[in-house]
A = this chain, B = another copy of it.
Amino acid sequence: MPPSPLDNFDLAILAILQRDNRTPQRLIGEAVNLSAPAVQRRIKRMEQTGVIASNVAIVEQAAVGQPITIFVEVELESERTELIDAAKRQFSETPEVQQCYYVTGEADFILIITVADMGAYEALTRKLFFDSNNVRKFRTFVAMDRVKVGLTVPLPG
């Protein structure tokens, strides 16, 4: 069964939910010219097929005492599959690692880290990088301005 394609109604609904997923279905319906139940069915289907991965509240990190965002490019010593997987697992399990990508190019991983202060970051580098004997080197970038943040995907239409 091919994942049922999305039509323009679905895309229009997604565009709204991506901005505010608590918009009442009635209003969504008015915006896209559909009845509320029709909107509801489409949302449900997109949730079940994984088009909508989740519904979450975005927390302002400064308000919960984690104002600092840091990027790290990590380069490993060995790229043996099992070591890569071990690294993925460790990064995934670390709460301060907000995002982790395995990439091509001059680095192997790119991490986005959220911490309270530089001391916390320093402690984290020890745990994640120095205590690992598979990290060749890492480069740190400290965010001065989170110019644009989100997981919004550009939608056709």
Contacts and interface: CB of A to CB of B under 8 A. Distances in A.
**How many monomers of this protein are in the complex?**
2
A14 B64 contact: yes
A141 B105 contact: yes
A27 interface: no
B59 A18 contact: yes
Nearest to A70: B103
A101 B153 contact: no
B144 A17 contact: no
B144 A103 contact: yes
Given A21-B22, A114-B153, 8 more contacts: A14-B59, A20-B56, A52-B60, A54-B58, A56-B150, A73-B141, A92-B147, A102-B147
